[in-house]
Amino acid sequence: MRFNLSEYNWPLIIMIAAVSATVSYVGDMLGKKIGKKRISLLGLRPRYTSTVITVFTGIAVALLTLVAAGYSSDSVKMAIFGPNIMARQMTELTNEVRSRQNELDDMTLDLIAAQNELSSVKNEKQTVEAEVAALRDETESLELGLAEMKKGRVIVFQGEMLAQTSMEPDENRYDLDGAVLRLVDLSEDYLNKKMPDLSSAVPPNALTVVVTDEMRETVKDALKDAEGRQALRLTAPSNIVLGQPLEGILNVFESRLVYRAGEILMRQRVDAVLSQEDGKKILDDMLQNIKRSAVSKRILPDPFLGTVGNFDLLDIYDTLDKIVVFGEAMKAAEVTITAAADIYTEGPVTVKIEVRPDEEAQGGE
């Protein structure tokens, strides 16, 4: 450690030197005078008296030096006269510093906890803001949907089937991309036919149907362990108004033959019927029986309408007319309902209805 001369306490050094010199000089002069006069203190010889005076002079020099040093500097005074006090104060100060340090550590921990809580609150705020934004968008969408519903512009409802198709395995591989393209084309045709009155008001790409990559991957996973003929059905995820994007939902399931083309689904003898209402009731009962039979054979109904078949109204009214004609001639009729084509699990049940005179009734005549 290096010291500069300017850093020394020169006034204290000079004062101590001056006081020591003065006391020494006075002691020396006093000793000489006592020695010359051969003064004796307390019965001591003059020589011993001089020694005693010299000793007391040295003591006086030391005391005066201490007094001068203490007078010139409080630090020196405390170091000389109060080392125990300083030690106690140092201990108290050390303890206080430790206490303050502990308080500072606690405050630091509290600050960190507060910062973490603030960060959590900010994250929660961002999450809530995102949820609010999503709800706002959903509300706007619902308001738009409600407005479009009031205008009659809802193009498809939630769960409504847009199209369906089948896939045959080719060397244990299904052409999913080709099936999806067919579904999209069929769906867009279905939507355009459903809204012929809106054709002039429909903007470009307003009736576009999209199947997401995520949906395709889901179906691919379902087809990994599949065997035999499979069916794909595309449905609407929610109510879609004109102008909204339509991301269809794909469902895949096994497709198996339930009825062959021309297979008789139901045959029933109908007695003479004089009104279309009675004939319609009989025909409705027959179609309901066919529906129940189809459901029992695991034919999937339409997810939106709940129906399993497509029945041509013209065929139904033509059938009713024939039944009434036979009834007016007081003849019984035989109604035969057959499968119009091969019918698979995915449906629909398409039928052909035939009406002819009942042979047993004619034979009885």
Quickly tell me which residue has 């010299």 as its tokens. 54
Classified as helix, coil or strand, 162 is strand
- C-beta atoms surrounding 121 within 10 Å: 10
- C-beta atoms surrounding 4 within 10 Å: 6
| Structural domain includes residue 135 | no
User: Do residues 346 and 322 share a domain?
Assistant: yes
| pLDDT tens string 178-189 | 888 888 888 888
Tell me what percent of the chain is helix, strand and coil, each rounded to the nearest 5: 60, 15, 25
Of 201, 231, 255, the residue that ends a domain is 255
| Structural domain includes residue 128 | no
Q: How many domains does the chain have?
A: 3
Q: CATH number of the domain at 321, please.
A: 3.30.470
Report how far residue 188's alpha carbon sits from residue 209's, in angstroms, rounded to the nearest whole number: 7
User: Do residues 166 and 210 share a domain?
Assistant: yes
| Structural domain includes residue 196 | yes
User: To the nearest whole number, what is the mean pLDDT of the chain?
Assistant: 75
| pLDDT tens string 128-174 | 888 888 888 777 766 655 555 555 567 778 888 888 888 888 766 78
| Structural domain includes residue 87 | no
| pLDDT tens string 10-66 | 666 676 677 677 767 776 676 666 666 666 666 666 666 667 777 777 777 777 776
| Adjacent-strand bridge partners of 144 | none
Of 22, 46, 81, the residue that ends a domain is 81
| Structural domain includes residue 238 | yes
Report how far residue 167's alpha carbon sits from residue 110's, in angstroms, rounded to the nearest whole number: 65
- The pTM of the full predicted model, rounded to 2 decimals, is 0.49
| pLDDT tens string 68-122 | 666 666 666 565 555 666 677 778 888 888 888 888 888 888 888 888 888 888 8
Tokens linked to 291: 């529906």
User: Do residues 273 and 236 share a domain?
Assistant: no
| Structural domain includes residue 270 | yes
Q: Which domain holds residue 346?
A: 258-364
> Which residues have CB under 8 Å from 257's CB, separation 6+?
342, 343, 344
Query: Which residue, among 220, 337, 242, has the nearest Cα to 282 in the 3D structure?
Result: 337
